[in-house]
Structure 1
Amino acid sequence: MHDLLDNIFWQSLSGPHARYATGTSNARRYAPGFSPIVGFPDPQQPDFAALRPFCEPGEHFYCDAWTGPAPDGWRIEAESTMLRMVWDGVAPVRDRAPDAVPLGPRHAVQALELARLTRPGPFGPRTIELGDYFGYFDDAGKLVAMAGERMAAAGLREISGVCTRPDQRGRRLAGRLMEKLVLRQLARGETPFLHVMRANTVAHDLYLRMGFRDYCETVVRIVTPA
C-alpha cells in the first residue's frame, strides 16, 4: 500500500481511474472537465513530451514530487509543498451526517462555484463524478458545504473537495461529511487518505485530531504548456 501512496497520482490515473484519463504509458492526465492532475510512472523524471499532445494551451495542471527545471514548452506557474495523510484512527461510531445530500451531475455547477470560492484544490466541473460526494444546502437551496472522493488505488480512496462557504464555518459541516466518507470507505475495506497544503495548519491539525497521520511531504507544482 505504501508503494501506491508514493506515486498515487500515477497509480490512480493508470489504474482504477484510467477510464477518466487520457495519455500514454509514459504520462497521463485526467480528461478535460475532471480534476487537472497529471501523473508519470517516475515522477522524478516526468515525460512532459509524452503528455503534451493531450494538453491544450492555457490549461493548468497539478503534479507532485518533481523538482527539476521546467522542460521545453512548459512553464511552472506555482510551487509549494503538501502533506499526504493516511487514516490511522478508530472508525467513527456512527454516521453523523445522515441528512447530507448525495451530489450528482445536477449539482455540478454549484459544486464548482463552491470550489472556486474556497479553493480546496484542483477541481473541475466533472470532479464529482470521480466518487461519492455529499453536501449540505441552506434554506435557499445553495450548496454551503461538501466533501467527496477523488483518486483511488487498490485498497486506497482519497477524500477531497472538502470545503465550506465562509459564512457557514464553525458548524463542523465539512467535518461531519468527512466522517461519513471515512465510515463508508472503511466499510468497503478501503483506507482513506487525503492531501493538505503545508501552509494550511488549521486543516492539518483538524485531520490529525480526526485520526489521519502524516505519510509524507511532497512538492506540488502547477504547470502549463507554454
Structure 2
Amino acid sequence: MSHPLDRPVLSALCGARQAALAVRAGAAMRFEAGYATFAVCPDPTIEALADLAHLDMPEGVLITVEAQDMAVPQGMVVVKDAVLAQMVLTAPAQFSRTGIAVEPLGEADAADMLALATLTEPGPFYDKTHRLGDFVGVRHDGRLVAMAGERMKPDGFTEVSGVCVHPEARSRGYAGAMIKVVTDRILARGEQAFLHSYPDNAGAMALYHALGFAERARVNMRVLAKA
C-alpha cells in the first residue's frame, strides 16, 4: 500500500476534514474554486485522466502533486513541471521567538493575507485559501508583514503552507517563529506536519532542516491548463 503522502491531493480530498471541498467531474476531482487549484484523478489511467479537462477551472490552471509520473491528460497542456522535496517533521527543534509577536489570523485579515501572498508568491493562494486551516502572522506598525498556515489535510497529517515574509521584513526570524507555532498546533492535535519545497531553495531548505523537518520523498508537481 502506498503512503498517504504519495498522493497528498487524493488523500486530502478523500479525508474526513476536506472531503466536503471536493468538486468532481467524472473520475477527477479538485478543491473547490477559491480554496486551491489542486486536482487529482484516483484512477491514473490515460482514459480516466482525461476527466481532469472537464473540471471547472476559473483560475485557469490545475495543479497535480504525485509521487509517480503521470501522463498528460487528453485536452490539457503542461504549463510547468517541477520536482518538490516533500518533508515531514521528524524531530521538532526548539526555536526562539523572543521579541516576535505571532498572532492568529482570521476572516478579518483575509484581504491583508491575499495581498501579502500576491506580493510574495509563496504558492497558489486565493480568496478562500486562508479557510483551509489555521493561519498566524506578524504585523509591524499595523501592516501584515509575514504569515504561515495550513493547507492540505490528509487523515493524520497537516501541510504547512503559505509561508511568506514581506521583502522589507526578511532576515528577522519571522518565518521560523511562525512555522514553529503552526507545527506545535499540528502536533498537539496528534497529527504529523509536512510541507513541500523546491529543493534548490537553499535558504528555505536550511530553515526546514533546522526546525526538524526531514525529506521523505521527491514528488512531481505539474501545472496544467486546457489545450
TM-score, normalised on structure 2? 0.89
Structure 1 residue 132: Cα displacement: 0.3
Report the more deviating stretch, 92-101 or 147-156: 92-101
Aligned-partner SS, 1:151: coil
Amino acid of the residue matched to residue 8 of structure 1?
P
- 2:8 maps to a residue whose letter is I
Q: Is the CA contact 1:83–1:198 (under 8 Å) kept in the aligned structure 2?
A: yes
1:220 is matched with which residue?
221
Q: CA deviation at 1:43?
A: 5.2
State the 1:57 CA deviation: 6.5
Contact 2:103 2:137 in 1 (8 A): yes
Give the direction of change, closer, same or farther, for the CA distance of 1:111–1:57 in structure 2 (3 Å limit).
Answer: closer
| C-alpha contact (below 8 Å) 2:95/2:180 kept by paired residues | no
Which amino acid counterpart does residue 106 of structure 1 have in structure 2? A
1:10-21 map, 5 Å: 10-15=10-15, 16-21=17-22
For this pair of structures, how many residues does the alignment match?
A: 225
The amino acid across from 2:130 in the alignment is I
Contact 2:9 2:38 in 1 (8 A): yes
**TM-score scaled by length of structure 1:** 0.89
Aligned to 1:28: 29
What displacement does 1:26 show?
2.6
Q: Please name the residue that 1:196 is paired with.
A: 197
Amino acid at match of 1:155: G
Computed over aligned residues only, the root mean square deviation of the Cα atoms, in angstroms, reads: 2.5
CA shift for structure 1 position 19? 1.2
> 1:4-59, CA deviations, whole angstroms, 9 ceiling, x for partnerless residues?
11111110012121112211573211111012111222557683432333323661
CA distance in 1, matches of 2:203, 2:26: 38
5+ long unaligned stretches in structure 1 = none
1:92, distance to aligned residue in structure 2 (A): 4.2
Corresponding residue for residue 175 of structure 1? 176
* Cα distance between partner residues in 2 of 1:179 and 1:25: 40
Amino acid at match of 1:119: E
After TM superposition, the structure 1 = structure 2 runs for residues 18-167 of structure 1, keeping only pairs within 5 Å, are: 18-23=19-24, 26-42=27-43, 47-56=48-57, 59-65=60-66, 67-90=69-92, 92=94, 99-139=101-141, 141-167=142-168
Shift of 1:171: 0.6
Q: 1:45 to 1:144 in 2, by over 3 A?
A: farther
- % identity of equivalent residues: 35
The code of the aligned residue for 2:102 comes to A
| Amino acid corresponding to residue 14 of structure 2 in structure 1 | S
Distance, in Å, in 2 between the alignment partners of 1:25 and 1:3 is 25
Q: CA deviation at 1:69?
A: 4.9
